[in-house]
Amino acid sequence: MSVIISRALPDVRDGLKPSQRRILFAMHELSLYPGRKHMKCAKICGDTSGNYHPHGESVIYPTLVNLGQDWKTRYMLVDKQGNFGSIEGDPPAAMRYTESRLARSAESLLRDIDKNTVEFAANYDETQLEPTVLPAEYPNLLVNGANGIAVGMATNIPPHNLGEVINACLAYMDNGAITSEELMVHVPGPDFPTGGVIVENSESITETYKTGRGSFRLRASWEVEHLDRGQWQIIVKEIPYQVQKSKLIEKLAELIQTKKIPILSDVRDESADDVRLVLEPKSKNIDPEILMGLLFKNSDLEIRFSLNMNVLIDGVTPKVCSLKEV
C-alpha cells in the first residue's frame, strides 16, 4: 500500500506523485515564483528531503530535473538554469551547479494554497504540515501525463494539449452526461513534447480512452530533401517520445553495419536545437516510403506507447479510469 499510495501512482486531482508534490510545495515555501531569482537545486532538494520527503537529496534531484526537461514534460513545472541533461541521454550536472524556480504552469497548481483550499496533514516527523493534494487550476494529470510502476500494477498516461483539455472540461461542465467519445471531439489524442505522428485508427483510440487501457503506434516525423542530380536524402525532424537520440542513432548505424537494411547507406546527426537526422539511401532509385517502412519495423523510429490510466481516486484508491472519469 505504501508503494501504491506514497510513491508510484499519481493522484487524479493534481496529477502528481508525493515526491513531485513535495518538491513544488518546498519551492512554494522558498517563494521561488516566476520573476524571483533562481535558487541552487541542492538547497531545494535539501529542504524537500529534510521537511517532507526523507529519502535523501540524491533520489529527489532526478525528479526535480524531470520536471524541467522540455522533451519529457509537456508543460514544464520547473524553470531551469544550468545543465539539465539533453534528449541525447546526457546526464544533468550535479545539483550544486544547477539552479531552478517554479514555472508559470506550476504557479497555477499552487495558487491559493494558503487560503484553506486543500487539506493539510502532518509530515513524516509531525513537525510541519504538508498538502495532501495541490489546488490545481487545470487537469495536470492529462496535460503532463504520468508513469510509474507500483506493486502488481502500473500507470502510463501520455501528455495532452492544454487547450484541448480545457475545452473538454468546459464541454463537460456544460453537459454532465457527455461521453468519453464526445469528449474526444476536443481531445482527439495525446500531444507529445517531442512531436511525432500517431498512426492508429480512430476506433482503436476511442476504445483506449473509453476503457483507460490500450496503446498507440507513434512514428518519427520525416520528409524527403532533394539534392543535385536527382539525389535525395531523408530528414527526420521529430523522434518518438522517450526515445534517446544517441541510442536511436546507434541502432541505425548497427542496421547499416550488419547489412540488415542494405538500401540504407549512411546516417548523420546534424541536430542543433532542433532534431535533424539525415538518412542517406544506397541509390536515388529507391522508394523513400519503402526505406522508411523498413526503418519503422527495425528501429525505434516507430514505437508502441501503452496507455494505462491507473490513478489514485481521492489519494487512496487505485482505479483504471476512462477519459471522462479522469
* pLDDT tens, residue by residue, 191-202: 999 999 999 999
Phi, psi of 67 (to 5 degrees): -70, -10
Sequence-distant (≥ 6) Cβ neighbours of residue 121 within 8 angstroms: 129, 130, 132
Phi, psi of 324 (to 5 degrees): -65, -45
pLDDT computed for residue 3 by the predictor: 83
Compute the distance between CA of residue 167 and CA of residue 183 in angstroms, rounded to an integer.
9
Chain segment 63-79, per-residue pLDDT in tens: 999 999 999 999 999 99
97 is known as an active-site residue = yes
Catalytic option among 97, 124, 138, 241: 97
Chain segment 242-254, per-residue pLDDT in tens: 999 999 999 999 9
Confidence of residue 148 (pLDDT cuts 50, 70, 90): very high
Sequence-distant (≥ 6) Cβ neighbours of residue 102 within 8 angstroms: 24, 27, 28, 32, 33, 34, 77, 78, 79, 110
Mean pLDDT of 84-100: 94
pLDDT computed for residue 89 by the predictor: 87
pLDDT value at 4 more than 90: no
How many degrees, rounded to 5, is the angle at CA 100 between CA 97 and CA 104?
Answer: 165
- Rg, C-alpha atoms of the chain: 22
Compute the distance between CA of residue 203 and CA of residue 208 in angstroms, rounded to an integer.
9
Mean pLDDT of 97-110: 97
Confidence of residue 88 (pLDDT cuts 50, 70, 90): confident
Question: Which secondary structure element, helix H or strand E, spans residue 309, and what is its range?
Answer: none
Percent of the chain with pLDDT over 70: 100
pLDDT computed for residue 157 by the predictor: 97
Mean pLDDT of 121-149: 95
In one-letter notation, the amino acid at residue 115 is: K
pLDDT value at 110 more than 90: yes
pTM of the entire predicted model: 0.93
Phi-psi domain of 82 (left: phi exceeds 0; alpha: psi -120 through 50; beta: other): left
In one-letter notation, the amino acid at residue 155 is: T
